[in-house]
Structure 1
């Protein structure tokens, strides 16, 4: 089994038309819909995307950096390609195994959920 990206979006902007004021200094949260290739369903994952310059200007004290993708400048095509490449590497015998691998880099809506 393997996962695929079914949708990439942002709650604050339409990513297809969004352009940051400064492509080398920006931050945004993106939502990923990722599911098994052979099904129509998907789970939500979130990822923060920013540049080193944004970090330099914004972070003044030590911070944790989990679920963070750092890019040199804004390029939706490059960001999507990088995400899709990572997701394509996450395979397993079941969805939980795959989602656990994915959640190393992107925040999974069911991470730490106990039934």
Structure 2
């Protein structure tokens, strides 16, 4: 059974509005096979505030999202803890199956 591990998180892009509760942040998560950091592949998540999401929906009328985490106050530690909880339920027989399970929540660099 492949057990996934989160090796690191990197903030790739940040967009902060005029208020502290208005943000959109792109984060890359290096995830691989437990104990083997060389196996890490990149999964992307976007963290946004309810306010930013509301504004996006008001402009577009519709938003469809996978890999979207919504939180009132940005806290990288909370994102890390959430990802670790998700990973605890993504163990599968092969890495490909494991990565596909993770990709329900984050966007895998090797999708398609």
* 1:1-115 equivalence runs, <5 A: 1-12=2-13, 22-40=19-37, 41-60=39-58, 61-112=61-112
Relative distance call for 1:89 and 1:55 in structure 2 (3 A) is: same
Structure 2: gaps spanning 5 or more residues: none
Aligned CA RMSD, in angstroms, stands at 1.8
Higher helix share: 2
Asked if structure 1 preserves the Cα contact closer than 8 Å seen for 2:21 and 2:51, the reply is yes
Question: How many angstroms does 1:20 deviate by?
Answer: 7.9
Taking the aligned partners of 2:74 and 2:30, their CA distance within structure 1 comes to 21
Question: How many angstroms does 1:21 deviate by?
Answer: 6.2
3-state SS, counterpart of residue 45 of structure 1: strand
Asked if structure 1 preserves the Cα contact closer than 8 Å seen for 2:17 and 2:23, the reply is yes
Question: How many angstroms does 1:107 deviate by?
Answer: 0.2
Q: How many residues in Structure 1 have an aligned counterpart in Structure 2? A: 107
Once the two structures are superposed, what CA deviation does each residue of 1:29-54 show, in whole Å capped at 9, x if it has no partner?
A: 10010000032220011011101111
Asked if structure 2 preserves the Cα contact closer than 8 Å seen for 1:46 and 1:67, the reply is yes
Asked if structure 2 preserves the Cα contact closer than 8 Å seen for 1:25 and 1:73, the reply is no
Question: How many angstroms does 1:72 deviate by?
Answer: 2.1
